[in-house]
Amino acid sequence: MIDSTLCYLYRGDEVLMMHRTRKKNDMNHDKWIAVGGRFEAGESPEDCALREVREETGLTMLDAAYRGVVTFINDQYETERMHLFTCERWSGEMTDCDEGELVWLPKAEMNSLPMWEGDRIFHRLLDEGVPFFELELVYSGEKLLSASLDGKKLEI
Protein backbone atom coordinates (compact mmCIF):
# COMPACT_ATOMS: atom_id res chain seq x y z
CA MET A 1 0.00 0.00 0.00
CA ILE A 2 1.16 3.51 -0.84
CA ASP A 3 1.01 6.14 1.93
CA SER A 4 0.64 9.73 0.75
CA THR A 5 -0.57 13.17 1.80
CA LEU A 6 -2.83 15.74 0.19
CA CYS A 7 -2.85 19.32 1.49
CA TYR A 8 -5.41 22.05 0.81
CA LEU A 9 -4.07 25.55 1.42
CA TYR A 10 -6.85 28.11 1.90
CA ARG A 11 -6.58 31.88 1.37
CA GLY A 12 -9.92 33.35 2.38
CA ASP A 13 -12.45 31.97 -0.12
CA GLU A 14 -9.71 30.56 -2.35
CA VAL A 15 -7.91 27.23 -2.42
CA LEU A 16 -4.53 26.39 -3.95
CA MET A 17 -4.96 23.72 -6.62
CA MET A 18 -2.57 22.08 -9.06
CA HIS A 19 -3.46 21.32 -12.67
CA ARG A 20 -1.40 18.14 -13.24
CA THR A 21 0.05 18.58 -16.71
CA ARG A 22 3.84 18.25 -16.46
CA LYS A 23 4.66 14.83 -14.99
CA LYS A 24 5.18 11.80 -17.29
CA ASN A 25 3.04 8.66 -16.78
CA ASP A 26 0.86 10.46 -14.24
CA MET A 27 -2.37 8.77 -13.12
CA ASN A 28 -3.58 12.30 -12.27
CA HIS A 29 -2.70 13.76 -15.70
CA ASP A 30 -4.90 16.76 -16.61
CA LYS A 31 -6.80 16.53 -13.29
CA TRP A 32 -6.95 19.26 -10.65
CA ILE A 33 -5.74 18.18 -7.21
CA ALA A 34 -4.22 19.74 -4.12
CA VAL A 35 -0.49 19.47 -3.39
CA GLY A 36 1.04 16.46 -1.71
CA GLY A 37 2.77 13.19 -2.41
CA ARG A 38 4.23 9.94 -1.17
CA PHE A 39 5.87 9.32 2.17
CA GLU A 40 9.63 8.97 2.37
CA ALA A 41 11.18 6.40 4.74
CA GLY A 42 10.62 7.27 8.40
CA GLU A 43 8.17 10.12 7.78
CA SER A 44 5.00 10.70 9.76
CA PRO A 45 1.92 12.04 7.93
CA GLU A 46 2.70 15.54 9.25
CA ASP A 47 6.37 15.34 8.18
CA CYS A 48 5.36 14.24 4.68
CA ALA A 49 2.72 16.97 4.36
CA LEU A 50 5.18 19.69 5.41
CA ARG A 51 7.90 18.42 3.06
CA GLU A 52 5.59 17.96 0.06
CA VAL A 53 4.02 21.42 0.40
CA ARG A 54 7.48 23.00 0.73
CA GLU A 55 8.84 21.05 -2.29
CA GLU A 56 5.85 21.70 -4.56
CA THR A 57 5.01 25.29 -3.59
CA GLY A 58 7.96 26.83 -1.72
CA LEU A 59 5.59 27.50 1.21
CA THR A 60 5.95 26.28 4.80
CA MET A 61 2.66 25.39 6.49
CA LEU A 62 2.27 27.00 9.94
CA ASP A 63 -1.08 25.54 11.04
CA ALA A 64 -1.58 22.23 9.24
CA ALA A 65 -4.74 20.45 10.45
CA TYR A 66 -4.96 16.67 10.05
CA ARG A 67 -8.49 16.20 8.68
CA GLY A 68 -8.85 12.61 7.55
CA VAL A 69 -7.65 9.42 5.92
CA VAL A 70 -8.86 8.47 2.46
CA THR A 71 -8.19 4.96 1.13
CA PHE A 72 -8.28 4.55 -2.64
CA ILE A 73 -8.86 1.04 -3.96
CA ASN A 74 -8.58 0.73 -7.74
CA ASP A 75 -8.41 -2.29 -10.03
CA GLN A 76 -5.76 -0.51 -12.15
CA TYR A 77 -3.52 1.07 -9.49
CA GLU A 78 -1.93 0.13 -6.18
CA THR A 79 -4.06 0.78 -3.10
CA GLU A 80 -3.29 4.18 -1.58
CA ARG A 81 -3.89 5.54 1.92
CA MET A 82 -3.93 9.32 1.70
CA HIS A 83 -3.61 11.52 4.79
CA LEU A 84 -5.61 14.72 4.25
CA PHE A 85 -4.58 18.12 5.64
CA THR A 86 -5.82 21.70 5.44
CA CYS A 87 -3.87 24.87 6.18
CA GLU A 88 -4.76 28.56 6.42
CA ARG A 89 -1.39 30.04 7.45
CA TRP A 90 2.03 29.60 5.86
CA SER A 91 5.28 31.45 5.30
CA GLY A 92 7.53 31.86 2.28
CA GLU A 93 7.11 32.78 -1.36
CA MET A 94 5.32 30.52 -3.83
CA THR A 95 7.52 28.89 -6.45
CA ASP A 96 6.84 27.06 -9.71
CA CYS A 97 6.08 23.32 -9.54
CA ASP A 98 7.49 20.75 -11.95
CA GLU A 99 4.35 18.55 -11.66
CA GLY A 100 1.76 21.08 -12.76
CA GLU A 101 0.45 24.63 -12.67
CA LEU A 102 -0.38 26.04 -9.21
CA VAL A 103 -3.49 28.25 -9.22
CA TRP A 104 -5.48 30.01 -6.49
CA LEU A 105 -9.13 29.29 -7.32
CA PRO A 106 -12.43 30.23 -5.66
CA LYS A 107 -13.50 27.30 -3.43
CA ALA A 108 -16.94 27.46 -5.07
CA GLU A 109 -15.39 26.53 -8.46
CA MET A 110 -13.35 23.53 -7.27
CA ASN A 111 -15.88 20.81 -8.01
CA SER A 112 -16.48 22.01 -11.58
CA LEU A 113 -12.89 21.12 -12.54
CA PRO A 114 -11.75 17.78 -13.99
CA MET A 115 -10.89 15.62 -10.97
CA TRP A 116 -11.43 12.17 -9.48
CA GLU A 117 -15.13 11.67 -8.66
CA GLY A 118 -14.39 10.81 -5.01
CA ASP A 119 -12.53 14.08 -4.46
CA ARG A 120 -15.89 15.85 -4.51
CA ILE A 121 -16.96 13.75 -1.53
CA PHE A 122 -14.06 14.76 0.68
CA HIS A 123 -14.32 18.39 -0.52
CA ARG A 124 -17.88 18.38 0.85
CA LEU A 125 -16.73 16.89 4.17
CA LEU A 126 -14.01 19.55 4.48
CA ASP A 127 -16.50 22.33 3.61
CA GLU A 128 -18.94 21.00 6.21
CA GLY A 129 -16.20 21.21 8.85
CA VAL A 130 -16.18 17.49 9.69
CA PRO A 131 -13.29 17.40 12.18
CA PHE A 132 -11.83 14.00 11.16
CA PHE A 133 -13.10 11.24 8.90
CA GLU A 134 -12.14 7.97 7.28
CA LEU A 135 -13.29 7.61 3.70
CA GLU A 136 -12.90 4.58 1.44
CA LEU A 137 -13.27 5.08 -2.31
CA VAL A 138 -13.43 2.07 -4.66
CA TYR A 139 -12.76 2.64 -8.35
CA SER A 140 -12.59 0.67 -11.57
CA GLY A 141 -10.15 2.79 -13.56
CA GLU A 142 -11.57 6.31 -13.32
CA LYS A 143 -15.13 5.22 -12.43
CA LEU A 144 -16.13 5.49 -8.78
CA LEU A 145 -17.93 2.27 -7.82
CA SER A 146 -18.56 2.82 -4.10
CA ALA A 147 -17.77 5.07 -1.16
CA SER A 148 -17.87 4.44 2.60
CA LEU A 149 -17.61 7.11 5.28
CA ASP A 150 -16.48 5.92 8.71
CA GLY A 151 -17.49 2.36 7.73
CA LYS A 152 -20.95 3.25 6.37
CA LYS A 153 -21.80 3.06 2.65
CA LEU A 154 -22.62 6.35 0.95
CA GLU A 155 -25.01 6.94 -1.93
CA ILE A 156 -22.97 7.97 -4.97
CATH code for position 25: 3.90.79.10
- pLDDT value for 22: 66
Q: In whole angstroms, give the CA distance from residue 13 to residue 156.
A: 27
Count up the domains in the chain and report the number.
1
41: exposed, middle or buried (Cβ count in 10 Å: 0-12, 13-18, 19+): exposed
- What confidence tier does 23 reach under pLDDT thresholds 50, 70, 90? low
- Per the structure, the complete domain to which residue 132 belongs is given by 2-153
Asked if residue 121 lies in contact with residue 148, where contact means CB atoms within 8 angstroms, the answer is: no
φ and ψ of 41, to 5 deg: -55, 130
Residue 25, C-beta contacts closer than 8 angstroms, at least 6 positions apart? none
Q: What digits encode the pLDDT tens for the residues 30-78?
A: 789 999 999 999 999 999 999 999 999 999 999 999 999 999 999 999 9
| Alpha-helix runs per DSSP H in 11-114 | 45-57
Asked if residue 81 lies in contact with residue 68, where contact means CB atoms within 8 angstroms, the answer is: no
Asked if residue 62 lies in contact with residue 91, where contact means CB atoms within 8 angstroms, the answer is: yes
Q: What digits encode the pLDDT tens for the residues 106-116?
A: 999 999 999 99
Question: Is 26 a residue whose pLDDT tops 80?
Answer: no
- Mean pLDDT, rounded, of the chain: 94
Question: Is 9 a residue whose pLDDT tops 90?
Answer: yes
